[in-house]
Amino acid sequence: MELSSIKDAFDRVAKKQKLSSSKSQEVVDQVGREIEQALATIQAPNGPSTPVDQKSVLTDLKSKLNAIVALKQLEGPQKELNLSLSKYQKLLEKYFNPDISKAYRNVDFDNHIVNQIIASHFYRQGLFDLGDSIINEAGVLDLTALRLKFMEMHQILEAMRVRNLQPALTWGSANRDELVKIGSNLEFKIHTLQFVEVVQNGTRADALKYARTYLAPFAHLNKDDFQKLMGCLLYAGRLESSPYSDLMSPAHWEMITEELGRKFCTLLGQSYQSPLSVAVAAGVEGLPTLLKLANVMAAKKQEWQAMKQLPVPVELGKEFQFHSIFVCPVSRDQGSEENPPMLLPCLHVLCKQSILKLSKNSTRTFKCPYCPAEATVANCRQLHF
């Protein structure tokens, strides 16, 4: 089934709804007209002169209204509408999963923690108003320190978006040691952006001075880049039509801006991606499998609530792979400190327990289950991923 067929079904509903509602108006108009006609007859100058005449007008009106069978008229379109409404609802239930909470484990989520996660998420995204607002409404604990940090980050990034590097440079020099410690040459990269701006818009002397003052200290670590940059000087004022044009491209700026965001988060001890976005996205990918599993296990609700490990893998995309998981192809056990992966001389990898089993507790040589090569426990070695 396709979404488009659901849309068609909905269009049918909407059509019936319009029919039914215009029918209602028609009936109301009809009744109104009859009454107004009777009124006119009664009020006409040569209208009923006796109470008997007047009564006959009213009786006449009554029978006319009865003839309209107003309620009966309404019924037909309403019935059709109701039919299409329930058809559409059934269609929704068939195409979509009508209850995605089936795989929910009944544990209390601490709302304070969830609120704190949401507020941090808003701050990280630069949505400071929203973060403040939820803190205000939910009474989340104090996140002022985090707010300040993300505020600083967003100010730097926003300035970079209008090609103002001053805040970025200030931050870079204040965090020089930390950046070096994590092996980042980001400060150098920010200076190169600035240098290119000077080359393009300033005098050659300015550019040279800038290079001597700010780039030279990084030269020994970035030899190639540094030399390439000095080449820029040849094209001062016309970089856009030089081999260096990409250094001024929006894409290049965007890349370094993003890197600054990343490094800023790293130094904060934070992830670059919002952990809330990551967890929810993983949930969207994982939930269909979990729902199928919950269906299969529907009879074992107890087990579902208590299990320590999911009985089946929930496949997530590459972007959610944060850890190396070794699964022994023989025993299907996940590797662990007690049962680490071992490299056989044939370069196949099994877990330690499998090897011990194959070698009858290290008492004999064994054949690799994947190739005929012989091995002993002694010539296997432990791997670290």
Partner 1 sequence: MEMDSLSNGNNTTATASTPATVSPDSSAATARATPTPPPSSTGPQLTEALKLEHQFLRVPFEHYKKTIRANHRAVEKEVSAVISGVTDAASADFSPDDAVNHLNSLVSRLQGLKRKLEEGSRAENLQAQKCRARLDHLESADGENLSEWNSTRLKRILVDYMLRMSYYDTAVKLAECSNIQDLVDIDVFQEAKKVIEALQNKDVAPALAWCADNKSRLKKSKSKLEFQLRLQEFIELVRAENNMRAITYARKYLAPWGATHMKELQRVLATLAFKRDTECATYKVLFEAKQWDFLVDQFKQEFCKLYGMTMEPLLNIYLQAGLSALKTPYCYKDDCTKEDPLSQEAFRTIAMPLPYSKQHHSKLVCYITKELMDTENPPQVLPNGYVYSTKALEEMAKKNDGRITCPRTGSEYNYTELVKAYIS
Q: Which residues bind Zn ion (CB under 5 A)?
A: 346, 348, 368, 370-371, 373
d(CA 180, CA 178): 5
Footprint of partner 1 on 148-187 (CB under 8 A): none
Q: Which of 222, 270, 362, 376 binds partner 1 (CB under 8 A)?
A: 270
Q: Nearer Cβ to partner 1, position 105 or 163?
A: 105
314 binds partner 1 per the rule CB under 8 A: yes
Q: Are 290 and 314 in contact (CB under 8 A)?
A: yes
Rounded-to-10 torsion of CA 192, 194, 195, 196: 90
Q: Which of 240, 369, 374, 379 binds partner 1 (CB under 8 A)?
A: 369
How many residues touch partner 1 under the rule CB under 8 A: the total is: 144
Taking the complex as a whole, the smallest distance from the CB of residue 300 to partner 1 amounts, in Å, to 10
275 binds partner 1 per the rule CB under 8 A: yes
The β-bridge partners of 256 are none
DSSP structural state of residue 221? T
Q: Which two tokens stand for residue 324?
A: 């190396």
54 binds partner 1 per the rule CB under 8 A: yes
Q: Nearer Cβ to Zn ion, position 189 or 352?
A: 352
Q: From its phi and psi, is residue 207 left (phi > 0), alpha (psi between -120 and 50) or beta? A: alpha
Q: Which of 76, 83, 87, 111 binds partner 1 (CB under 8 A)?
A: 111
310 binds partner 1 per the rule CB under 8 A: yes
Q: Which of 28, 83, 148, 182 binds partner 1 (CB under 8 A)?
A: 28
d(CA 68, CA 234): 94
266 binds partner 1 per the rule CB under 8 A: yes
Partner interacting with residue 164 (select from partner 1, Zn ion, none; CB below 5-8 Å by kind): none
Site string for partner 1, 87-106 (x = CB under 8 A): -xx--xx-xxxxxxx-xxx-
Q: Are 169 and 191 in contact (CB under 8 A)?
A: yes
Burial of residue 90 (number of CB atoms within 10 Å: 0-12, 13-18, 19+): exposed
d(CA 47, CA 264): 91
d(CA 335, CA 337): 7
Of 151-159, 174-182, 209-217, 302-310, the segment contacting partner 1 by CB under 8 A is: 302-310
Q: Which of 44, 45, 67, 71 binds partner 1 (CB under 8 A)?
A: 71
376 binds partner 1 per the rule CB under 8 A: no
CA 39, distance to chain mean position in Å, is: 65
Q: Nearer Cβ to partner 1, position 109 or 251?
A: 109
Q: Which of 162, 177, 205, 308 binds partner 1 (CB under 8 A)?
A: 308
Q: Which of 180, 312, 373, 379 binds partner 1 (CB under 8 A)?
A: 312
Q: Are 46 and 53 in contact (CB under 8 A)?
A: no
220 binds partner 1 per the rule CB under 8 A: no
Q: Are 293 and 311 in contact (CB under 8 A)?
A: yes
Per the listing, tokens 């919002």 go with 274
